Amino acid sequence: MRFIAIIPARYASTRFPAKPLAMLGGKPVVQRVYEQVKSVLDNVFVATDDQRIYDVVEGFGGRAVMTREDHRSGTDRCFEAYQKIGCECDVVINIQGDEPFIQPSQIRALQACFEDEKTQIATLVKPFTVADGLEALQNPNSPKVVVSDDQRALYFSRSVIPYLRGVEQTEWLARHTFYKHIGLYAYRVETLAEITRLPQSTLEKVESLEQLRWLDNGYVIKVGQTDVETIGIDTPEDLVKAEEFLNRM
């Protein structure tokens, strides 16, 4: 199959303006993301709405494409970028622009999901461990996923799902495997075109999780698993943690 990776990178961010251009270990965050993905895929582009980001990407030898400023999500930005790039691919991989430590194994896990011809969309999960602790499990900024026996996503929530009735919460992690959602997506091209035309669903609005719109409309989301912990950068404090992590590598 023919894969293309697109990295949406906005300049404006409520919690961390200019995040893609923040320096991490002597390189912009967006460059670190790009280089990690490029180690697996030849076809990699940054989709941005800002000339400064575009210039930085082109400056380090990457490929960038300018997109509109008014997109509701990275998914919409990916589709516009794909149309502008004009290549003929089967699957578009949406790589978060704030994941500088994304691993080749995670990208390959996404690709493997499309060995099943019924897969329309793919994403990744990571099992929570006892060592993660209850606080991590209950963190609403870390969405949870219920996965079927055939590795399809049944539901995503900011709440802890499933609820273990009759079990003390302190024992939940020891008694059941809960899954953390890793925000990487891949879509068949025709599916990407369809989902960008869908209106927001009720569940999407109440949970503020875009992927619930796709489930609401009957799309199959295949789930790949990873044991690699990613460090996303949402705030300046996260950047400090990422720098510490990089120094330990």
* CB 235 within 8 Å of CB 16: yes
Residue 69: the pLDDT is: 87
Domain extents for the chain? 3-125+178-198+213-248
* Closest among 117, 107, 115, 57 to 81, alpha carbons compared: 57
Task: With a cut of 80, say whether residue 136 has pLDDT above it.
Answer: yes
What is the DSSP secondary-structure string of 86-149?
Answer: ----SEEEE--TT-TT--HHHHHHHHHGGGSTT-SEEEEEEE--GGG-HHHHH-TTS-EEEE-T
- Chain segment 83-125, per-residue pLDDT in tens: 999 889 999 999 988 889 999 999 999 999 999 999 999 999 9
pLDDT at 22 over 80: yes
Pick from 98, 91, 55, 100: which is nearest to 74 by CA?
98
Q: What is the CATH number of domain 3-125+178-198+213-248?
A: 3.90.550.10
Least Cα distance to 144 among 72, 200, 95, 207 occurs for: 207
The b/e string for 55-84 (b: 16+ C-beta within 10 A; e otherwise) is ebbeeeebebbebeeebeebbbbbbbbbee
Convert the pLDDT of each residue in 29-85 to its tens digit: 999 999 999 999 999 999 999 999 999 999 999 999 999 988 888 899 999 999 999
pLDDT above 70 covers a percentage of the chain that reads 100
User: Which tokens in the block code for residue 24?
Assistant: 């991490």
Mean pLDDT value across the chain:
94
Note the pLDDT of residue 13.
77
| Residues 226, 126 contacting (CB under 8 angstroms) | yes
Residue 115's pLDDT is 95
pLDDT band at 201 (very low <50, low <70, confident <90, very high): very high
Answer yes or no: are the C-beta atoms of 186 and 122 closer than 8 Å: yes
